[in-house]
């Protein structure tokens, strides 16, 4: 994604990466960060969750 490699544990993780990427793309395009108060708050919260979401955020240059 964006020239970055996202390591997948199992083949089904590909679908998760695509779903997370679509969600993040929509949130960025619509500037919709609910239930968080801002983009920064949402990114901080998602960063704490770890896993595939963080890998996608890093690949998109958001973290």
pLDDT given for residue 55 in this prediction:
94
Output the pLDDT for position 44: 95
pLDDT at 3: 79
Longest CA pairwise span in the chain (Å): 35
pLDDT in tens, the chain (63 residues): 777 889 899 999 999 999 999 999 999 999 999 999 999 999 999 999 989 999 999 999 999
- Rounded to two decimals, what is the model's pTM? 0.84
Give me the phi and psi of 41, to 5 degrees please. -65, -40
Kindly write down the DSSP assignment for every residue of 11-62, as one continuous string: TTHHHHHHHHHHHHHHHHHHT--TTSSSHHHHHHHHHHH-HHHHHHHHHTT-
């Amino acid at each position: 994604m964006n020239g970055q490699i996202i390591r997948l544990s199992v083949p089904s993780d590909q679908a998760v990466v695509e779903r997370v990427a679509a969600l993040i793309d929509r949130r960025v395009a619509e500037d919709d960060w609910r239930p968080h108060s801002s983009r920064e708050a949402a990114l901080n919260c998602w960063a704490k969750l770890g896993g595939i979401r963080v890998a996608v955020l890093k690949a998109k240059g958001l973290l």
